[in-house]
């Protein structure tokens, strides 16, 4: 049999808003987040043939293949479909690892979709979503193929936001080791133990307002008004400083003080607000025009030390 292959992009994401609501009994946290898919992407090539499931990458990811999220995704869908077809997966990494940009989750989503298409397994979308959610909370967002989406629950309950808006970002990954689990644990300790997270600043949460398609609105507690998903993106375009938010940022800075200094430097270079994506350590700011992001990058790079230029990865990216 002639081997077949498929190549699929695995784009990164940023969290334009991330509010932590409470810690759940299962140890995870309920959140409300607004995802944006961006142009920074890995490339996944899947082909039939080989022996079992083989996963490789152009850079080291994990020591044991069974720990690789792409391997888990492949095994998950093949087991679900009762398919024993061997597949070989190669990942060309461009998204920094453990960066708060969803690179691993996007790789997993692309593997699920790619194998489903390549082997014509005909696994339904709802089943793909369930498989993805079992692998990682961010995987369903990438499976949705939405450019923007509202994420609730663990972030795995996805409502796409329909818009033609395109944003640009100056994005920094400083190659700092930062564990998502440690960031959430620090948040629990500093914001209050128990099922309800206390002491966080006013922000965006589920409210009682209405929006299109019967969705509940988002309420800006500081402003005292209702924001539906569509108007959230409108407000973001009009004034990102008042809307960009991440409840994990304080805890991330407490774990790694350098992140706070990077946020300050990026904000100074861009003359706009900068925040972390996910649990960090990547930091980004938002622009409406690409030229603004490019100009800000040039100002920032001039101020970097030689060591920072070697260690930091700096990208100008757009909505994808």
Which residues have a catalytic role annotated?
Answer: 13, 138
**Beta carbons of 207 and 226 less than 8 angstroms apart:** yes
In angstroms, the Cα distances linking 250 to 18, 52, 279 are 12, 44, 10
Structure tokens at 216: 């509940």
Two tokens at 319?
């909505």
Q: Is 319 within 8 Å of 137 (Cβ atoms)?
A: no
DSSP state of 168: E
CB atoms within 10 A of CB 22: 12
Side-chain-facing half-sphere of 180: CA atoms under 13 Å: 16
Please give the Cα distance from 320 to 168 (Å, whole number): 10
Among 88, 83, 67, 82, residue whose Cα is nearest residue 7: 88
DSSP one-letter code for 215: P
Residues in the chain: 320
User: What are the two backbone dihedrals, phi and then psi, of residue 216, each rounded to the nearest 5 degrees?
Assistant: -65, 155
């Amino acid at each position: 049999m002639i081997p077949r292959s498929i190549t699929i992009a695995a784009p990164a994401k940023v969290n334009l808003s991330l509010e932590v609501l409470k810690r759940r009994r299962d140890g995870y946290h309920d959140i409300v987040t607004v995802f944006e898919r961006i142009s920074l992407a890995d490339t996944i090539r899947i082909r039939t043939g080989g022996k079992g499931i083989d996963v490789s990458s152009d850079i080291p990811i994990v020591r044991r293949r069974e720990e690789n999220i792409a391997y888990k995704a492949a095994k998950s869908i093949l087991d679900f479909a009762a398919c024993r077809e061997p597949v070989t997966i190669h990942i060309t990494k461009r998204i920094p690892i453990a960066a708060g940009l969803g690179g691993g989750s996007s790789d997993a989503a692309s593997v699920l979709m790619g194998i489903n298409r390549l082997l014509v397994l005909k696994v339904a979308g709802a089943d793909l979503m369930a498989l993805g959610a079992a692998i990682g909370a961010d995987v369903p967002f990438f499976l949705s193929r939405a450019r923007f989406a509202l994420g609730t629950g663990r972030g795995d309950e996805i409502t796409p936001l329909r818009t033609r808006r395109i944003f640009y970002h100056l994005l920094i990954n400083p190659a700092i080791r930062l564990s998502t689990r440690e960031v959430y644990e620090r948040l629990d300790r500093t914001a209050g133990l128990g099922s309800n997270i206390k002491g966080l600043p006013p922000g965006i949460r589920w409210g009682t307002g209405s929006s299109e398609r019967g969705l509940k609105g988002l309420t800006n507690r500081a402003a005292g008004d209702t924001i539906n998903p569509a108007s959230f993106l409108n407000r973001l375009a009009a004034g990102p400083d008042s809307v960009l938010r991440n409840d994990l940022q304080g805890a991330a800075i407490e774990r790694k003080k350098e992140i706070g200094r990077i946020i300050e430097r990026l904000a100074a270079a861009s003359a706009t607000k900068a925040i972390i994506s996910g649990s960090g350590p990547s930091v980004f700011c938002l622009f409406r025009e690409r030229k603004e992001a490019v100009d800000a990058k040039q100002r920032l790079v001039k101020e970097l030390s030689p060591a920072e230029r070697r260690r930091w990865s700096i990208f100008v990216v757009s909505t994808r």
